[in-house]
Amino acid sequence: MRDADAGVEPPTRDGFFNRGSLSRQIYARLTVVLLLALTTSSALHYLSHDLPESMPDFPVPSALVPALVAVESLVFFVVFFVSSWLILGRWLKRALGDIETLAQVASHFADNRTVDEGGMKALLGERGDGEVRHIAASLDDMMRTVLRQEAVTAAHEAELARRNEEIALLLDSAGEGFYGTDAEGNCTFINRACLNMFGYDDARDLIGRNMHDLTHHTRIDGTPYPVDECRIREARVTGVGIWVADEIFWRRNGTSFPAEYSAFPILRDGTVVGTVVSIMDITERAEALESLRRQAIDHEIIARIMKLSLSPIPLKEMLEETLKLVLTSHDLGLQSRGSIFLREGDRLVMVAQQGLHPHLLTECANIPLGFCLCGRAASTGAVVYAQSVDERHDVTFPEMAPHGHYCMPISSDGEVLGVINLYVSANHGGSEHELRFVNVVADTLAGVIRHHTVEEELHRGEERLRSLVENAGDCILVHDFDGRIISSNRRASLELGYTREELAQTYLPDIDTEFNAAEYELLWKTMTPGVPVVVTSTYRRKDGSLLPVEVHLGYYETGSQPLVVLLAHNITERIRAEERIRHMASHDALTGLPNRSLFLDRLTMAMISARRGGHSVAVLFIDLDGFKAVNDTMGHAAGDSLLQQVSTRLSACVRETDTVARLGGDEFTILMTGVTDPHASTRVAELVLKTLSAAFPIENNSDAHIGASIGIAQSPADGDTPETLLASADRAMYAVKQRGKNHYLRASALDESRSGEQWLRE
């Protein structure tokens, strides 16, 4: 029997000829035909032979015997063929017609995916053969079952497509890059932010291709990055998530960018089937760190130049050492060739050089102002830069190698004292950092040269030295063995807020908050004249505010008593920059709240403390309801303002010991530590809902209204690791979303059939 929706049931026909298979029906019909023929033949034989013999009184004429035999044979064949057609032939014709109809019905279904109701009705009708009718009934059942399965499959595929589209929209709305790989490292999905990072327009350019080969193939030094050493592959092989703070990825156009990324395995039935990679472009952070690194190198070189300037060596020797120091800086694109000129009247005299061709040592030993590139720099007082040997080069020779120049005037108080000439490779593009560094070196050399000039020309040098000290950008203090300040510059007076007279009555411990008499005495005893020592300290201004400084201490003897010169450089901005970078690495740029990384660190420490102290940790996972509508209708600026206000309100809902973090987008978390009251987290959740229910004022006198879905998880019942606890809270939040939003739910109230680890994998 078929299902009720499959059509009209075929009537049963249990006649003799319709029982059994086709072969049995054929055998039955042939048997009947043969029986009829044999019966007819026996009757004729009886009439022609047996009957005359049994009736001797009625003899059959012998002339009629052949005729009777012929009639007997003719009747036999007539009966045989007529019965064959009536019993077997018409049935075979009808059966073949049914089979042909059956084939047409099957072909119609294969071509159109619909059932030929007319043909099927004919096959299942009263006239249909039993075997064919049963085959047709089975085919009808099969076709209708296939149609039902295809309909179910289509519905499932449509639902799957809808969910995939929702996931794709969610991923594409994230500012962070995400992509997934299969077990071989081939891309299975990628969001818009990640496509932009890698320089692709269409995800189809990456789907199915190996992400390591495309984006992670080479290290920063240009050497290959074997896939066996790749940290992303490590997560896929070991099944353990990884986090990398700084590594290089490559764009489609061949350029690279630094990134912070994490990779977590995708598990299916306990088997790793791929990875999910979260990636963040940290170019700005890396550039800031690189800038700080370069500044540190620059400061170190300048400090060493200053150290040389304090050494009791002739000016020429000091300039030669300074040139070597500058040319050995690997952070610049300089060649190991260069020279320093000092001005004597209207000419420049080469006093220091390294790596120059003998021809240049002769031709450029003494040149007039305005001659060649160095003379032009001296005559104009401005830097002269050349990418190649051009028409401005007045000195050339056949063996001259292609090159470029930085020719920087060494000036002090508007007076050109000389020129520093540094070589670069031909067609070298140069950079602001190089130019700034060369300028700083030139300015430093100007001070050094001036200082030595003062020493050599005492009657003129004292005033110039005083000018240099007075106009220095750093605080300069001179004190004696007892720590009494006996001299200071204008910058020191401005930075510390004292007058010169007040500083002259001040001792070093009065302004140096980190001064230690025993350590300073030991330092004093170990200092060598002319060899400065660099330390960091904190000075206290007259108004009580603090000034972080990097201090260069130089010890020298005046004949009557030893003195120490302090060159204190204000490092406030450097410290702020370092603090900003550290803050950027662990806090959300928009709201200033801790980011996911810092939140997980604090959650980890809180759970360790909870286990030791015998108390609990609670996590509230908050997802804003209605934020997307605000963002779409009122604009991204309104959305940003709303997120900032949300962060302020959330922070007001918790204790100082708790943590409010923004994980990204409109997702926030609250970490409650030292929880002993099982209802404490629900009270906070209720306070959050109440706080967020109030209108949010937006620009243009508009108000925004949102809600929040909150999931609550508490250790150790809902998770004994940071990941599982956060996943339980996320799971509870998602359940709130499904149940109507703008409420809270504890993870313990959910079906516990799925563990936190399973939810995290999903």
Write down the pLDDT at residue 530: 67
More confident residue, 726 or 37: 726
Share of the chain above pLDDT 70, in %: 80
Structure confidence by residue, pLDDT tens digits, 121-156: 777 765 555 666 777 788 778 888 888 888 888 878
- What average pLDDT does this structure show over 723-737? 94
The tokens for 403 are 């090159």
Which candidate, 581, 572, 671, 561, places its Cα nearest to that of 621? 671
Write down the pLDDT at residue 756: 42
CA–CA dist 375, 389 (Å, integer): 15
DSSP state, residue 541: P
User: In which band, very low, low, confident or very high, does the pLDDT at 424 lie, cut at 50, 70 and 90?
Assistant: confident
User: In which band, very low, low, confident or very high, does the pLDDT at 762 lie, cut at 50, 70 and 90?
Assistant: very low
CA–CA dist 41, 61 (Å, integer): 21
Write down the pLDDT at residue 619: 96
Whole-angstrom CA distances from 438 to 174, 326, 329, 623, 652 are 43, 9, 11, 53, 51
The reply to whether omega before 716 is within 30° of 0 (cis) is: yes
Helix (H) or strand (E) holding 593: none
Beta-carbon contacts of 317 under 8 Å, excluding residues fewer than 6 positions away, are none
Helix (H) or strand (E) holding 675: strand 667-675
Where b means 16+ CB within 10 Å and e means fewer, 681-696 reads bbebbeebbeebeeeb
Beta-carbon contacts of 641 under 8 Å, excluding residues fewer than 6 positions away, are 696, 698, 699
Write down the pLDDT at residue 2: 46
Residue 12 predicted with pLDDT over 50: no
Residue 247 predicted with pLDDT over 50: yes
DSSP of 558-577, one letter per residue?
-SSSEEEEEEEEE-HHHHHH
Residue 36 predicted with pLDDT over 70: no
Helix (H) or strand (E) holding 371: none
Backbone angles phi, psi at 118, to 5 degrees: -65, -50
Structure confidence by residue, pLDDT tens digits, 340-395: 999 888 899 998 888 888 888 888 889 898 898 888 888 888 888 888 888 888 88
CA–CA dist 567, 468 (Å, integer): 13
The dihedral formed by the CA atoms of 479, 485, 487 and 488, expressed in degrees to the nearest 10: 110
Residue 7 predicted with pLDDT over 60: no
| Mean pLDDT over each residue of the chain, to the nearest integer | 80
Helix (H) or strand (E) holding 43: helix 22-45
Structure confidence by residue, pLDDT tens digits, 97-123: 777 777 777 787 777 778 777 777 777
Residue 443 predicted with pLDDT over 80: yes
Going across the sheet that includes 384-386, the strands are: 366-368, 347-354, 334-344, 415-424, 404-412, 384-386
Write down the pLDDT at residue 57: 57
Radius of gyration of the chain (CA): 49
Pick the range with the lowest mean pLDDT from 35-49, 128-142, 742-756: 35-49
Backbone angles phi, psi at 566, to 5 degrees: -105, 120
More confident residue, 324 or 309: 324
